Chain A
């Protein structure tokens, strides 16, 4: 059992390290610098006026958050493959 699951893991992790080492050689350094600040840092300025807050940016919530999840359709490889698979099954069933 355990051997099975580890062999399954390996290709995934290998893939990940391959990807990491090749294009972004600075990922390791990124990790290091980011680990340093493990706490919420103090703001470089103490205060600012109400009108300069993000709250007062026009339609900030609509800019930040997309609300179309219920209906959004993504045209990617996965979605197309899913479609093909399901349609194929249906055809076989009707034959």
Chain B
């Protein structure tokens, strides 16, 4: 086999990379196809003797070569062992996620080496003040070490992950091991942040050569690593930096100025991801649903149209739709008062309607949308309870709780419509007695007719059966909506006299209505003394649904 020598120093002279350079910096992927057993290339990467004086370049070259050797050895060993066991147990070895062998990650020397590789490349980028040719290679290097360190974090409990660090006694006890891994990841974050800062602070007036073009790439990487570290404060700091630099506008300007294919090849997917992370931050951490909605909608709009682009990995893209929609749907309901057309989404956005990601979106949001349209509080509360963990895991718990208010509003509107048909032509049709809304409210919470009757027509002397028992059980009045609700669902559990219950629930309704009036969702006022809601004769319920984007 003929070998070709490739001098890495040449690239730094020419300030240009090609496929060979990318191959040089890229580690062998942990795939278990047999083809990767073959020597990775006929090409041999060298550094000419003149460059040995260049400390930074030498360091980068050497760490890269060393890391590659580590990976090659580990992968080859892994393959050999795998082949032996393969015949015995095929299923166990299914490596879906393509992970590096755990022995590789146990080597502190390897981990230090890849960290040094990133550090030395950062220094080379810093030194080169007049061009941005190294930004994409830097991103590739940073991204691959991020992936290795996040695999390390995911597998920290793996029994075969054993460090051999003399200076740290008991370094394989889980708490210590976890700490070491966390420190590695934090160090990795610091170095990636360094890359980010190099991009952010480039003052080069020539936009074609300005490193700012890498900001989005490295921001996304920072978002990912802070999520991995579960460090909300770092995300907050990052957003602060991004906002104060007006990054998005600048990026757009630069994007327009740069026509070469260099970094733009990475562009769209990163724009989507960046908008997603921004939206996630504002919606899930800051409860600024409006801003979140804008970002997430932008993210979705920048996505490829599955009808036009053939996507090789449908399940990956479906998982991306799922992530986007889980946040975008509740935030849109909340801020725009519009709801998604699930049929359209399932048939036109998702690839393969039978996909689990698509099914999940339907399962989670279909019942909620129904309640949003009908004002069915009981169904809403039930669904909420069933999916509580899902909401928490995905950061939409707060948003979902706030949607309840809109379900209540829809209920009031529905009651009002019925009120109008009953009182058609009468003068007082703009004065709605609260006891009328009380019936609707109780019905919506799933109360039986018998109970509704009992509460609604209760007079002062009434004492409901079973109420005495209840009073013994709870001396205090029940607090909290859910509690009250479960209480008056069942006749036998009435905590107070029917009259008391009625007054309590009327107060509750007044509170909800007051909130809706203060938000301008209802035009009108409450008369507490007369227990009625007086609504505007012209526009009692202003139109709330607004267009997205």
Query: B456 within 8 Å of A by Cβ?
Result: yes
Q: How far is the CB of A28 from chain B (nearest CB, A)?
A: 12
Q: Which residues of B contact A82 (CB under 8 A)?
A: 375, 411, 414-415, 418, 440, 443-444
Please judge, given known A-B contacts A1-B473, A65-B336, whether A44 and B316 are in contact too, CB under 8 Å. Answer: yes
Tell me the minimal C-beta distance from A76 to chain B in angstroms.
6
A5 interface contact, C-beta 8 A: yes
CB of A68, distance to nearest CB on chain B (Å): 7
Task: List the A residue with the shortest CB-CB distance to B490.
Answer: A8
Q: Does A95 contact B (CB under 8 A)?
A: no
Whether B386 is near chain A, meaning CB under 8 Å from some CB there, is yes
* Chain B residues whose C-beta falls within 8 Å of the C-beta of A47 in the assembled complex: 264-269
Contact, CB under 8 Å: B340 / A30: no
- A70 touching B544 in the complex, CB below 8 Å, given contacts A46-B269, A48-B304: yes
Docked Cα-Cα span, A84 to B369, in Å, equals 23
Complex Cα distance A60/B482, Å? 39
Question: By DSSP majority rule, is chain B's interface helix, strand, loop, or mixed?
Answer: helix
| Residue pair B386, A16 in contact (C-beta under 8 Å) | yes
B511 to chain A, nearest CB (A): 21
Contact A45 B340 (CB under 8 A): no
A72 vs B339: C-alpha distance when bound (angstroms)? 12
Segment at the A interface, from B70-78, B234-242, B341-349: B341-349
Q: How far is the CA of A30 from the CA of B315 in the complex (A)?
A: 13
Known contacts A43-B269, A44-B312, A64-B344; is-contact A85 B360 (Cβ 8 Å): no
Chain B, 466-494, CB within 8 A of any chain A CB: 473-474, 483, 486-487, 489-490, 493
- Asked whether, in the complex, the Cβ of B439 is within 8 Å of the Cβ of A44, the reply is no
Q: What's the tally of chain A residues with a CB closer than 8 Å to chain B?
A: 52
Contact among B301, B323, B543 for A60, CB-based, below 8 A: B301
Whether the pair B319, A53 counts as a contact (CB closer than 8 A) is no
A61 surroundings in chain B (CB, below 8 A)? 547-549
Shortest CB distance B529–A (Å): 20
Q: Are B268 and A63 in contact (CB under 8 A)?
A: no
Whether a CB of chain B sits under 8 angstroms from the CB of A39 is yes
CB contacts (< 8 Å) of A89 on chain B: these are: 436, 439, 456
Contact yes or no, B356 A74, CB < 8 A: no
- A22 at the A/B interface (Cβ < 8 Å)? no
Select B373's contact among A34, A43, A72, A85, beta carbons within 8 Å. A72
- Per the bound structure, the CA–CA distance linking A39 and B545 in Å amounts to 32
Q: Which of B309, B338, B374, B473 contacts A45 (CB 8 A)?
A: B309
In the assembled complex, how far is the CB of residue A27 from the closest CB belonging to chain B, in whole angstroms?
9
CA distance A79 to B338 in the complex (A): 20
Asked whether B359 is an interface residue with its Cβ less than 8 Å from the other chain, the reply is: yes
Q: Which residues of B contact A4 (CB under 8 A)?
A: 473, 486-487, 493
Across the interface, A85 reaches (CB within 8 A) one of B311, B323, B452, namely B452
> Which residues of chain A from 48 to 89 have a CB within 8 Å of any chain B CB?
48, 52-57, 60-61, 63-70, 72-74, 76, 78-79, 81-83, 85-87, 89
Which residues of A sit under 8 angstroms from B308, Cβ to Cβ? Answer: 52
- A41 within 8 Å of B (CB atoms): yes
Q: Are B486 and A41 in contact (CB under 8 A)?
A: no
Kindly state the separation between the CA atoms of A69 and B369 in the bound complex, as whole angstroms.
10
What are 21 of the A-B contact pairs (CB < 8 Å)?
A: A4-B493, A8-B490, A12-B385, A30-B356, A36-B97, A37-B319, A41-B316, A41-B320, A47-B269, A52-B309, A54-B305, A57-B305, A57-B307, A65-B332, A65-B547, A69-B338, A82-B415, A86-B439, A86-B440, A89-B436, A89-B456
4 further A-B pairs in the complex, CB-CB below 8 A; given A53-B302, A61-B547, A89-B439: A45-B304, A66-B338, A69-B337, A69-B410
